[in-house]
């Protein structure tokens, strides 16, 4: 049985500034030679919840399990990894190149608290499925009031 790397923590690394991202998006549309840093792609994802779980589905066809990392915090899930580009010889001439390769990263904020001890992740048919069990609704307690 193979496992995914799942890390738990309270803080994720800071995301790049909005200005830098906007600049990279503008320059990146002109071609890869204009990129300020390594280009990342954003795999499409779905997130839905049932009465007991929050389920995240990521479309990551062509990404190897060992190239995926999932991190869980109390408020969000970070999914990151890399899809390797196939090696092409000098005899290849691209006529169309739409498939995105390289690093990817998505941070999804959770709609409710989850139990970090009950998280599972699996891949099937090019999809990554992450199941997060919801924490029970906090119970209320009566506080006794003492005399001064």
Only one residue has tokens 């790049």, namely 16
Work out the pLDDT band at 96, boundaries 50, 70, 90. Answer: confident
Q: What is the pLDDT of residue 43?
A: 95
Instruction: List, for residues 7-50, the tens digit of each pLDDT value.
Output: 666 555 444 445 555 655 665 555 444 444 556 899 999 999 99
Structural domains present in the chain: 1-10+43-84+104-136 (2.60.40.790)
Instruction: List, for residues 99-127, the tens digit of each pLDDT value.
Output: 999 999 999 999 999 988 899 999 999 99
What SS3 string covers the chain? CCCCEEEECCCCCCCCCHHHHHHHHHHHCCCHHHCCCCCCECCCEEEEECCCEEEEEEECCCCCHHHEEEEECCCEEEEEEEECCCCCCCCCCCCCCCCCCEEEEEEEECCCCEEEEEEEEEEECCEEEEEEEECCCCCCCCCCCCCC
The mean predicted confidence, pLDDT, of the chain is 81
- Edge-to-edge, what's the strand order for the sheet holding 5-8? 5-8, 68-72, 76-83, 102-109
Confidence check: pLDDT of 2 > 50: yes
């Amino acid at each position: 049985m193979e496992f995914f790397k799942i890390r738990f923590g309270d803080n994720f690394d800071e995301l790049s500034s909005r200005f830098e991202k906007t600049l990279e998006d503008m320059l990146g549309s002109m071609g890869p030679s204009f990129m300020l840093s390594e280009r990342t792609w954003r795999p499409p994802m779905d997130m839905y919840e049932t009465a007991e779980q929050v389920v995240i589905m990521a479309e990551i066809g062509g990404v190897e399990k060992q190239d995926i990392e999932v991190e869980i915090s109390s408020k969000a899930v970070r999914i990151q990894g890399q899809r390797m580009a196939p090696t092409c010889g000098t005899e290849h001439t691209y006529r169309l190149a739409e498939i995105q390769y390289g690093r990817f990263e998505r941070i999804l904020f959770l709609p409710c608290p989850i139990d970090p001890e009950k998280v599972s992740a699996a891949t099937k048919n090019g999809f990554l499925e992450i199941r997060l069990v919801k924490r029970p609704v906090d119970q209320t307690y009566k506080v006794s009031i003492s005399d001064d």
